[in-house]
Amino acid sequence: MFYIYNTVMRFTPLRIVLGLLQLLLAVSFLGGSMIWWVLGWDDALTIEGRALAVSEAPAELGQGWPAYGGDAGGNRYAAADQITPGNVNDLEIAWTHRSGTLEGRSEEALSRTAFQTTPILVEDSLFFCTQFNEVIAVDPGSGEEKWRHDPEVPTDGRPGNQFTCRGVSHWLDSAAGPEASCAARIFMGTVDARLIALDARTGEPCDDFGDGGAVRVEPNMSLRWPGEWQITSAPVIVGDVVIVGTSISDNLRTEAPEGTVHAYDARTGEEAWSFNPVPRDPDDPARATWAGNSADRVGHANVWSSMSVDRERGLVFLPTSSASPDYFGGHRGGDNRYANSVVALNGETGEVVWHFQTVHHDVWDYDLPAQPNLVQVWRDGEAHDVVVQVTKTGLVFVLDRATGTPFLPIEERAVPQGGVEGELLSPTQPFPLNTPPVVPSRHTAWSAFGITLWDRLACAAQFRALRNDGLFTPPTTEGTLAYPFSGGGANWGGAAFDPARNLLVINMSNAAAALHLIPNAENEPEADSISEAAEYAPMEGVPYGMTRELMVSPLGLPCTAPPWGILAGIDLASGDIVWRRPLGTTEDLAPGGLALGFGTPNFGGPVVTASGLVFIGAAMDDYLRAFDVETGEELWKARLPAGGQATPMSYEWQGRQYVVIAAGGHSRVGTRTGDHLVAFALPR
């Protein structure tokens, strides 16, 4: 996870300015009809389009926005339909809230912020968290602040990922009277790994929860530095249990903190259960997928992204990450389950109900980055409850929600072998049969991108210098093409679902990286951080360290052909990709605001409304956009005061529909930072 943002930063230096100046000359010289041939545009990424069956969405779905993903299952669907494809161009800013959270912060802290929050709407307030974990309640119709709570997280240390908070959760105490203190609670995890409970009406800490309103989530070992261990995603709630995962800096060491998921009593803060995705119990069936006692010697497989809850079944769904370290697994032979898996747990006990692994024996940092979508798909006249998991590889897995068996077919395919000495690769990996990768999974020297012949040949030479056998090519000391690289494909923004059309909408990034394993020198001193500038990770405890670098041309443009950001619609009844469109332009990257529709790397996700609109920010230009859900056609965009690297939400309040997005940018990606929560609506 740590490297995702470092590598994307290489997309934004002065070199890209020179490259785009060259591109402008090429456009002027060649003309519009020729430029697409020069770019090597892939026809498979243009609109494919077909008619979609339209039915009625479940009546209870999309009412308000009570949870981080719209509902507990992460549909990211709003039943509000006042804003339509016909009037979306009339949208205007209804209100803006500024938190002021950046004021008075050190330059070091400000260089590591990302405003990724999605507010929730509960009763008569919008609740959200800032980059530094302040929780704020505002009026849904005006943005006027009602209260705020500052947990005063330390900012003098370096967070493993960023100073960020993606969301908060709400819980109503059914045993308390409506006027009782903390009868309704807001829960939030912090960058210093506390789980905090606040009174939803006042913002005051709930003193009966933990120690004065907070529980500290402790690692199982001492940390190298405080920011190695964080909470960045919203907790989830099953009944009277609140559940939280952790974000852990990866690739630092083999004997690393355990990625244990913790559940607490929502009233008292007492631990209800815990689940370690690396099975330490000898009686756990998953233990057999770890050679010898290797499960006792590694950490991670943590849940850093968002979880989902099926309240009717009492299940919580975990998207787990890879075991430590990411790029070598010779010390942990076998498939390494429950790492890189969708794991369904009993929410009251923490017991495993089922699990499905999307990557066996991960040595590519292909952890599950996004909230599993719990959606209902209509096929052959019947409704089917499924789990959809989008991935960094660009693959989309659709599973039966009760059993974890494939709803859309999946097969094991042979994958490249011949890793470094001591590696123990899986001979096969799971692939969906019906849905091809949303972003390409293979790139060659012949398809290298370049504005000029010189630029393209330089990229082609980079590809030829690397081992390149397609997806799951093993890391090597000579060099391996990682494509999609670990920041490519889907990310934490996840997907949205249109229940009336069976349509999953997902945004992904398209980029490649050069990966090298470096033999570790004996007696190398222990690291207390990971080098950002050199893209080097020591991976202590195994024979290799690792370097990784985004593949760019001498002019600073990615060596992969555009679009570099993609928005797609997938019919979940069949698995067909209905449409694909570029997402984002070069406007805020290029000199003079040159807005070329090449797409950009993107962080944040989409939301779908009942009227047939998709709203999304995410791209590296400062816009919120609206697309037609049936065709993917862009219908509207509005300028934001800062980068929109967050997932928007939508709701109806007092007869007026609003679309709200956090506009605060991502300092390490290079988008404009800020402290704005912006609401759009039709004129009154």
Where would I find the H helices in 289-410?
none
> Which of 478, 317, 285 lies closest to 389, judged by CA?
317
pLDDT class of 178 with cuts at 50, 70, 90: confident
Segment 627-642, tens digit of pLDDT: 999 999 999 999 999 9
More confident residue, 2 or 152: 152
pLDDT at residue 32, rounded to an integer: 32
Give dist(CA 111, CA 108) in Å, integer.
5
Ranking 56-65, 113-122, 211-220 by mean pLDDT, the lowest is: 56-65
pLDDT class of 7 with cuts at 50, 70, 90: very low
Single-letter residue type at 234: A
> Which of 646, 647, 653 lies closest to 140, judged by CA?
653
Segment 426-472, tens digit of pLDDT: 999 999 999 999 999 988 899 899 878 888 999 999 999 999 999 99
Question: Residue 244 pLDDT more than 90?
Answer: yes
Q: Please list, in sequence order, all residues whose beta carbon lies within 8 angstroms of the beta carbon of residue 149, skipping any fewer than 6 positions away.
A: 134, 135, 196, 198, 203, 204, 205
Q: Taking residues 313-337, what's their average pLDDT? A: 97
CA 674 to chain centre: 21
Give dist(CA 336, CA 294) in Å, integer.
9
Q: Note the pTM of the prediction, 2 decimals.
A: 0.93
pLDDT at residue 60, rounded to an integer: 72
Question: 10 Å Cβ neighbour count for 39?
Answer: 18
**What's the chain's average pLDDT?**
90
Single-letter residue type at 243: I
pLDDT at residue 424, rounded to an integer: 96
pLDDT at residue 462, rounded to an integer: 94
Give dist(CA 347, CA 318) in Å, integer.
11
Q: Is 547 exposed, middle or buried (0-12, 13-18, 19+ CB in 10 A)?
A: middle
pLDDT at residue 450, rounded to an integer: 85
Give dist(CA 502, CA 50) in Å, integer.
13
pLDDT class of 61 with cuts at 50, 70, 90: confident
pLDDT at residue 536, rounded to an integer: 84
Give dist(CA 230, CA 247) in Å, integer.
5
Q: 351: which 2 tokens?
A: 């017991």
Segment 502-516, tens digit of pLDDT: 999 999 999 999 999
Question: Residue 553 pLDDT more than 70?
Answer: yes
Q: So what's the architecture of 2-681 in CATH?
A: 8 Propeller (2.140)
Question: Residue 29 pLDDT more than 70?
Answer: no
Catalytic residue numbers read: 365
Q: Please list, in sequence order, all residues whose beta carbon lies within 8 angstroms of the beta carbon of residue 433, skipping any fewer than 6 positions away.
A: 408, 409, 410, 411, 575
Q: Taking residues 255-264, what's their average pLDDT? A: 97
Give dist(CA 187, CA 169) in Å, integer.
5
Domain range list for the chain: 2-681
Q: What's the CA dihedral at 290, 291, 293, 298 to 10 degrees? A: -60
pLDDT at residue 557, rounded to an integer: 80
Q: Is 90 left (phi over 0), alpha (psi -120 to 50) or beta?
A: alpha
Question: Residue 9 pLDDT more than 50?
Answer: no
